[in-house]
Amino acid sequence: MHGPINEVIQFIDLNVYTITFLFLVGFIGGLVSGFIGSGGAFVLTPGMMSLGVPGTVAVASNMCHKFPKALVGAIKRYKYGQVDIKLGLIMGVFAEIGVQVGIMVQKYILDKWGQAGSNLYVSIIFVLVLVTVGSFVMRDAIKMKRSKTETETGATLAKRLQKIELWPMITLKTANLRISMWFLVPVAIATGMLAATIAVGGFIGVPGLMYIVGVTSIVASATELVIAFVMGLGGTLIWAYYGMVDIRLVMIILAGSLFGVQLGAIGTTYVKDYMIKYVMATIMLIVAVSRFFALPKYLNELHLVSLNETAVSVMTKMSFAIMCFALLVGASIILASLFKARRLEKMVSVNA
């Protein structure tokens, strides 16, 4: 990310198809991130690249659209009293460090094994993290749904960690807990590292906040938006310094995603707590499947396995399609539960 840019960057021409595609993906991605705190970004980078945008510009523009979206979402959810700003800022700063560490790891792997090795590393991290964390979150969501309790259960680890008095202790008002800084920092750094690797730090950040720090899923997903804002702003400044941001792409995506993020944030006020976990886990698991299909291509390039070209290209296409499907599923669960809850609330207020 810090290296000199030797090649002349080609910025693409826009047409109706590109604009519609970016707007729609922006909207759906925004909807998901307004709801679970992050997401959508993992489809945008490959999506833009498939439109012919150079990789670096795609990553830079994606980063640049992420932080205003996170900002708008965070402000909206702050109005609902769901954001712990202090927690978000502290985590954001350390996540920024995590991003730098993540980039260094990436560079090391790139130097040692080349582009294909780096891609393989990214995909393996994708599958590993998403399957482990996703299934854990899913199990918890199902357990919560079955037990039908209103409050969050579990998080026994978090309860235990909160009891350990290690200087410096931090009191978080909105999250309503007190925990040592030493437990926040690893979560934040892991979030940053994941963000640098797969562009969605929230897949570690939100579960980390829920199970290690012990924040409720609503506050965790809202606070993740603050973290994403800090990380996104830092990243964007660096990318823009090298002149890689295509402002037109960013603005088109933002046009859609701000509609989405508002709706997603509104959605959180209607649904039960486990719904956020449920949507998040669903998306994570489907994306993991999608990345699994991307693995053969890189394995092929490294000559670890030998598959024929057509099979690989079909699998690569399938991988992208499944990724889009993940977002669509997430978005439709959110919209369905939002409108169902609205109908219910209206019926109740009419009867009352």
Partner 1 sequence: MNNPTNDFRPIPEEDDLVDGPFLPDRQRERPFIMVVTRNGHLSEHVMDYAVNVAHRLSYSILAVHVDTLPFFKDRGKRSRLFAAAMQESAALFGAKADDKGVVVAHLGELGKIGSVVSRLCRSKKRIEFIVIDKGIRLEEVVRQSPVPVFPVLTNKQGLFNRTIFHHSTKKGVFAMSTTSRKRHLKHCFLFGALTAGLYASVFAYQDVVMTYFTKGGVFALLPVATVFAVSYFHGNFTSAFWSALGIEASKKGVAKRTEPAIEIKETVVAPRPDTRPRLQVNA
> Rule CB under 8 A: which residues touch partner 1?
9, 11, 64-65, 67-69, 71-72, 75-76, 78-82, 150-152, 173-176, 216, 218-219, 233, 236-237, 240-248, 250-251, 254-255, 258-259, 261-263, 265-266, 268-270, 341-342, 345, 349, 352
Structure tokens belonging to residue 248: 């037109």
Closest to 41 (Cα-Cα) out of 291, 232, 294, 297: 232
Residue 352 CB, shortest distance to partner 1, in Å, is: 6
Nearer to partner 1 by C-beta: 125 or 255? 255
Q: Is 84 left (phi over 0), alpha (psi -120 to 50) or beta?
A: beta
Q: How far, in Å, CA of 335 to CA of 338, rounded?
A: 5
Least Å distance, CB 252 to partner 1, is 9
The distance of closest approach from Cβ of residue 145 to partner 1 in the complex, given in angstroms and rounded to an integer, is: 18
Residue 168 preceded by cis peptide, ω within 30: yes
Closest to 32 (Cα-Cα) out of 289, 228, 318, 305:
228
Q: Nearer to partner 1 by C-beta: 182 or 241? A: 241
Angle at 79 between CA 74 and CA 82, to 5 degrees: 65
Q: Residue 142 Cβ, how far from partner 1 at the closest point, in Å? A: 21
By the 10 Å C-beta count (0-12 exposed, 13-18 middle, 19+ buried), 175 is classed as buried
Tell me how far apart the alpha carbons of residues 227 and 60 are, in angstroms, rounded to a whole number. Answer: 18
CB closer to partner 1 out of 237 and 307: 237
d(CA 261, CA 32): 7
Beta carbon nearer to partner 1, 84 or 127:
84
User: Please, which residue, 80 or 108, has the CB nearer to partner 1?
Assistant: 80
Smallest gap from Cβ 55 to partner 1, in A, equals 16
Least Å from the CB of residue 173 to partner 1: 8
Please identify, using beta-carbon distances, which residue of 74 and 287 lies nearer to partner 1: 74
CB of 79 to partner 1, least distance (A): 5
Tokens 């993906």: give the residue: 25
Beta-carbon contacts of 200 under 8 Å, excluding residues fewer than 6 positions away, are 38, 39, 41, 42, 194
Supply the minimum distance, in Å, between the C-beta of residue 218 and partner 1. Answer: 6
* Sign of the torsion angle spanned by Cα atoms 235, 237, 239, 245: positive
Give the residue among 333, 327, 291 at the shortest CA–CA distance from 197.
291
For partner 1, the closer of residues 184 and 261 by Cβ is 261
| 17 contacts 252 by C-beta, under 8 angstroms | no
Would you say 59 or 284 has its CB closer to partner 1? 59
